[in-house]
Amino acid sequence: MTDRRAAALELAEDLLADFELSRLAPTALVRKSSRLARLLDDRDVLEWLTLELNGYRDVVTGKMLSGTANFALRTGRGHYDQEEKTTKYWTDGLGAIEAHASAATAHMKAAADAPVSVSSANPHQIVSAPTGNARERTALLTMISRNQGLVEGILAAVHSYVSEKEVELRFGAAVESAFGQVRNTVDANIAELVPDAAVKLAAAFENAGSDNAEDWASSAATCRRLLKAVADALRPAGPKVDGRAMGEDQYINRLVDWIVNSSAAGETSREVVKRDLEYLGNRLDALAGAGHKGAHSEVTRYEASRFITGTYLLIGDILQLRPDGIKETADEVVEVDGADWPPQDRQPDVLT
């Protein structure tokens, strides 16, 4: 997990505690949540939270800012006017809404009727108590209820966002940790087979994380070169086998031939690794072929990430098929019902 994502996860967890333990005022909660949005580069949410803090009204025209209705509806700021057949919005910022609620509450206390005693010397006269401030208090109660409801709606929407991001970040951390174990194992073993593999893999990782589309294509090309280097080490080029070419460029055929003839794993494991190899290798070859022909072939950042992840998983499976298997560190082996896990002869996941 990157430092930025780790900081975002820590902030999200702290924010949830702030919400659930009422440690911060509503305005402070929204400001702190906007910091989470900045860490995640979530521009839409950052715009939304800024509107919640500053209000949806144009300071010059006094009208609602154009294009912000969807943000306002997210927190329940809109209400449909049956008479005018249109949706109207409360556009004040969160601080102003809180201030309105507080002022109305204070006014409510001041509007309480003083105790009175009403009587008449005429026993036949019906005497009624004065109406007092009943209407004013009713209006104040409506104002307090509306403003507190708006505050609760805003906080509920922000809490939902923070909760969603906390789950995403925590799950992402678990996935990164799992892949990190695979990466560490491959890095620790591949050098025996391909001495410069670590350099190739580091370059592929760096390119996959770049903002440059050319670097993403370079990452895919590096994955192909690395698989070819593994083939050169395990099954050098040679004559055809059962009509299948085993030349320098036919690295997939050579690796398949090596996998089929490996005795370190069962038939099922060999077949799964073979299918994974053919799937990934053919995709990498298709990209390389398009480039050689001068055709326009783009690799997205997502595809580059898939290629590097798939290459790591595939090389890990190939290394396990060697007679001496993979050398695992002590913290990568756990006891499950008296047996070591993971087993040496396992069925790897099929790349999709």
For the chain, the average pLDDT equals 81
Q: Is the pLDDT of residue 29 over 90?
A: yes
Give me the pLDDT at residue 152, please.
92
Residues, the chain: 352
Give me the pLDDT at residue 190, please.
84
Single-letter code of the amino acid located at 96: A
Single-letter code of the amino acid located at 261: N
Give the pLDDT band (50/70/90) at residue 324: confident
| Spatial distance between the Cα atoms of 202 and 351, rounded to a whole number of angstroms | 22
Domain boundaries, the chain: 3-113+135-169, 195-341
Q: For 61-115, give the DSSP string.
A: T-SBPTT-HHHHHHTT-EEEETTTTEEEE----HHHHHHHHHHHHHHHHHTPPPP
Q: Is the pLDDT of residue 330 over 50?
A: no
